[in-house]
Chain A
């Protein structure tokens, strides 16, 4: 990639992020609900105290002034302070990035390996019983709401496996015991997430394989004496994987935000759960912060997908 191209890519990414920040700010101001009233609900407060709290949050000032303040602190790297937790938003987010990456990473590995494997064979043996079963499973997984599937799994396996959180409350395990505890907590949410996500890899992979089947180079490979497995593994796959790899990188961005439903069902202490909690207040600084993180991952992974696609496809190298 030329320097000019890289520079224009970086500028484009920054512009997108700037627009996301603006959008996020005004979007959440339109939400119904008053953060101050939510915070003080069920407590005896005087109108004076409510007004003081509103002043403290800066909510009594004009929207434009609020935005200018927000933008100025954002440029300094300050995401603000959560109304609800009374802690810096940046710290809250930093604490929860790890668990989210653990969950979405595990789900990604599961869904990509399952999806690519299923899709590859479904395309290669198009029209077979395997193809029909794999496609049906993918469509079902794609259509099922994540929270609903999560609840079903909770009901089915909630006893033998832990039902929420990332570690057993009150446990002071460390080392291998801690890892085992986390792994057991990870099973259900990761399975749920993978089940609703593998479909797109299956369907993309299947379509890509089908797209290659009519190509002349497969006849060339067969004519050379390659067995069918060799034709599939050495010629079809490297071509068919290209769109799928790009899709994986595109999905990286959505995967982090897409875990909101699953994290909420399983009380997984990640970013999605945090965003969900912030939404119910609404805890405006926290909402803006998480929204910014979700969007930034999406924007960055889009840029990454573009770069990776150029690296893995020889036809695009050097463009």
Chain B
């Protein structure tokens, strides 16, 4: 049995060179950043270790260093021992032989981890071709093995011929697990294998991975930002912050008796259903009138590729003034389509959308409605133009609606309402100079600048780290209590719904299958 061990490892990224992935995405290249700082970590043979931390803490760098997969700009110090051999000293030929046979990686099932123009069967078979084994001889042997691997992760063997884009996120993740197990490695490193997936799908994939690891007696290093999930899946927990290990120990200990404040913050940031300490229900009844948005028997058929699909079927839902309603359900349930219909962005096939009791206006009057009901999209990266300053981004709505008053004052008020300070420093900043949480606050500030009565937020925190997520939840709850600002929050995250919402609507297969108080829906059923 093999063990994986880092001994006093540091990884530093040299100042950026043009052409690296970061530079091409337009992000500033960090200069001489110490991503991993003197880390010693042991994954004993047959053990399961969870590595927790938020984005940028160096956990992925550490994982990739195990197979020497870091980009050339990375400078590694220390010893990385894989089965007793220092990976840093291996010849390239020996390294290639070790890769995937001693240790393999379950990459994140995001589309980019698989080659888009090769079938998934081909990509799994490639590993088999590179590392011939007694169990998979020849083309036929490889094909049989691929089918067996797909079966072991719960996919039909017929899916071998599918291309990545033909699979769902969960299926792609299963393919990546099958691929990692192809050459019978002793150690599996899983880097955020489920963080891009729906809660239900993620749970099933964790079960699959856990069962395979137990069955085969593999060592597992599971990397995630989700501390409770890691605690369930692993015997030991290691918490990383800013390139250093700040806490480690048996899972239950770390979770319940966290010594380091960061661990406590990470643990508290996870919004567990049933945990009353994270719940923020409405503190007082709303003041004022207006702002009630209602969908009444809305059906939406979407046409695409010559096929009409019924995305939303006779959905009825009302958001009262000053109320936060969470619309939950798995992806593909029609949540976003219903929200778009309620915003007047999507025509309805039948049914009505009413705002303050009147049908949504058409033409010029729709603009006035848009001012009163603002939209907060899922990813701030997609919502903000990389070339626009914070001022311009927030002022855009003000300009479109020709809001009277001093623009600078209005923008600064909006930024303060979104708890973004100091405003003088932020006004001229570009999105690339802000953190993910700050970016989402800028988007929210842009909505608040128009003083709306209702927000419609589509997965407002799913692209953010757990601790940042908790802050945004607090902000939305505060806006509701202080301003009577209602919200329709679309999410697949039941924890978020539990923490934030006053009422909850569950959607499945285009229909609303349940509406009620949060505690009734999430705890009762």
Bind each other: yes
Q: A238-B118, A239-B115 are in contact. Are A219 and B107 (CB under 8 A)?
A: yes
The stretch from A38-46, A187-195, A208-216 touching chain B is A208-216
Q: Report A-chain residues with C-beta under 8 Å of the C-beta of B402.
A: none
Q: CB-defined interface of A213-256 with B at 8 Å, one 1/0 digit per residue?
A: 11111011111111100000011001100100000000000000
Report B1-46 residues with CB < 8 Å from chain A CB.
17-22, 24-25
Contact-residue size bin, chain B (C-beta under 8 Å from the other chain): 35 or more
Q: Tell me whether A226 and B21 are in contact in the complex, defined as CB-CB below 8 angstroms, given that A216-B112, A238-B118, A319-B305 are known contacts.
A: no
- Which residues of A have CB within 8 Å of B403? none
Interface pair A224/B19, CB less than 8 Å apart: no
User: Which residues of chain A are within 8 angstroms of B96 by Cβ–Cβ distance?
Assistant: 225-227
Find B115's partner among A210, A221, A242 (CB 8 Å cutoff): A221
Cα–Cα, bound, A217→B116 (Å): 9
Q: List B contacts of A227 (CB < 8 A).
A: 92, 96
Contact with A along B144-167 (1 / 0, CB 8 A): 000000000000000000010100
Q: Are A225 and B115 in contact (CB under 8 A)?
A: no
Q: Is B383 an interface residue (CB 8 A)?
A: no
Would you call B429 an interface residue if the criterion is a C-beta within 8 Å of the partner chain's C-beta atoms?
no
Of B124-132, B207-215, B366-374, B441-449, the stretch lying at the interface with chain A is B124-132
* B414 on the A face (CB < 8 A): no
Closest to B163 in A: A314
Q: Which residue of B lies closest to A218 (CB)?
A: B115
- Cross-chain contact A222 with B99 (CB below 8 angstroms): yes
Is the C-beta of B482 less than 8 angstroms from some C-beta in chain A?
no
Say whether, besides A217-B113, A219-B107, A315 and B126 are in contact (CB < 8 Å).
no
Answer yes or no: A126 CB below 8 A from chain B CBs.
yes
Question: By the criterion CB–CB under 8 Å, are B126 and A224 in contact?
Answer: yes
A61 within 8 A of B: no
Does B104 count as interface, using CB distance less than 8 angstroms?
A: yes
Interface hits, B87-125 → A, CB 8 Å: 92, 96-101, 104-105, 107-108, 110, 112-119, 123
Residues B24 and A315 in contact, CB atoms below 8 Å apart: no
B278 at interface, CB cutoff 8 A: no
Q: Which of B98, B104, B115 contacts A235 (CB 8 A)?
A: B115
Contact B19 A315 (CB under 8 A): no
Which B residues touch A222, using CB under 8 A?
A: 69, 99
Of B25, B113, B130, B165, the residue contacting A220 (CB under 8 A) is B113
B-side contacts of A221, CB under 8 Å: 115, 126
The total of interchain contacts (Cβ-Cβ below 8 angstroms) comes to 94
Q: Which residues of B contact A160 (CB under 8 A)?
A: none
A223:B118 contact, CB within 8 angstroms: no
CB of B306 within 8 Å of the partner chain: yes
Nearest opposing residue in chain B for A228, CB measure:
B92
What chain A residues lie within 8 Å of B99 (beta carbons)? 222-225
A314 touches B126 (CB 8 A): no
Q: If the complex has contacts A215-B112, A216-B112, A219-B69, are A224 and B130 also in contact, measured as CB distance less than 8 A?
A: yes
Q: Are A226 and B130 in contact, with the CB atoms below 8 A?
A: yes
Residues of A within 8 A of B113 (CB): 216-217, 219-220
Verify if B67 is at the interface (C-beta below 8 Å from A).
yes
- In the assembled complex, the CB of B118 is this many whole angstroms from the nearest CB of chain A, namely 7
B19 and A126: CB pair below 8 A?
A: yes
Q: Is B137 in contact with chain A by the CB < 8 A criterion?
A: no
Q: Are A315 and B112 in contact (CB under 8 A)?
A: no
Chain B residues near A318: list those with CB within 8 A: 305
Q: Which residues of B contact A219 (CB under 8 A)?
A: 64, 69, 107, 113
Q: Please give the distance in Å from A273's CB to the nearest CB on chain B.
A: 42
- CB–CB A217/B114 < 8 A: yes
Interface size on A, residues (CB 8 A): 30
Q: B101 to A217, Cβ gap below 8 A?
A: no
**A76 at interface by CB-CB < 8 Å:** no
Do A217 and B131 contact each other (CB < 8 Å), given the known contacts A223-B69, A223-B105? no
Closest to B110 in A: A216
Q: Report chain B residues within 8 Å CB of A313.
A: 117
- Rounded to whole Å, the gap between the CB of A310 and the closest CB of chain B is 13
**Residue contact A234 to B306, C-beta cutoff 8 Å:** no
Q: A213-B19, A314-B163 are in contact. Are A225 and B114 (CB under 8 A)?
A: no
A226 touches B126 (CB 8 A): yes
Give the residues in chain B near A215, CB-CB below 8 Å.
112
Query: Which A residues touch B130, using CB under 8 A?
Result: 224-226
- Chain A, residues 296-319, CB within 8 Å of chain B (1/0): the string is 000000000000000001110011
A220/B107 in contact, CB under 8 A: yes
Whether A225 and B127, one on each chain, are in contact in the complex, defined by CB atoms closer than 8 angstroms, is: yes
The smallest beta-carbon distance between B132 and chain A, in angstroms, is 11
The verdict on A315 contacting B163 (CB below 8 Å), with A213-B21, A214-B20 known, is yes
A224-B127 in contact given A2-B306, A127-B17, A319-B305 (Cβ < 8 Å):
yes
Closest partner residue, chain B, to A241 (CB atom): B117
Per the bound structure, the CA–CA distance linking A319 and B166 in Å amounts to 13
Residues of A within 8 A of B305 (CB): 2, 318-319
Beyond A223-B99, A223-B104, A225-B100, whether A214 also contacts B24 by CB under 8 A is yes
Q: Shortest beta-carbon distance, A121 to chain B, in Å?
A: 15
Which residues of B sit under 8 angstroms from A213, Cβ to Cβ? 19, 21
Cβ of A211: which chain B residues have Cβ within 8 Å of it? 24
Name the distance in Å between B114's Cβ and chain A's nearest Cβ.
6
Per-residue A-contact encoding for B290-326, CB less than 8 Å = 1, 0 else: 0000000000000001100000000000000000000
Of listed B97, B113, B115, B119, residue having the most chain A CB within 10 A: B115
Complex Cα distance A164/B101, Å?
64
Per-position binary interface string of chain A over residues 254-280, scored 1 when its CB falls under 8 Å from any chain B CB and 0 otherwise: 000000000000000000000000000
Q: Looking at B25, B176, B306, which has the most chain A CB atoms within 10 Å of its CB?
A: B306
Contact with A along B46-88 (1 / 0, CB 8 A): 0000000000000000001001010000000000000000000
Give chain B nearest CB distance to A110 CB in angstroms.
27
A135 to chain B, nearest CB (A): 13
Residues of chain B within 8 A (CB-CB) of A223 are 67, 69, 99-100, 104-105, 107
A contacts, CB < 8 Å to B:
2, 4, 126-127, 210-211, 213-217, 219-227, 234-235, 238-239, 242, 313-315, 318-319
Subset of 9 A-B contacts with CB under 8 Å:
A219-B107, A220-B114, A220-B123, A222-B99, A224-B104, A225-B97, A225-B100, A225-B127, A239-B116
The 7 closest A-B pairs by CB, nearest first: A214-B21, A216-B112, A225-B99, A225-B96, A314-B163, A217-B115, A224-B127
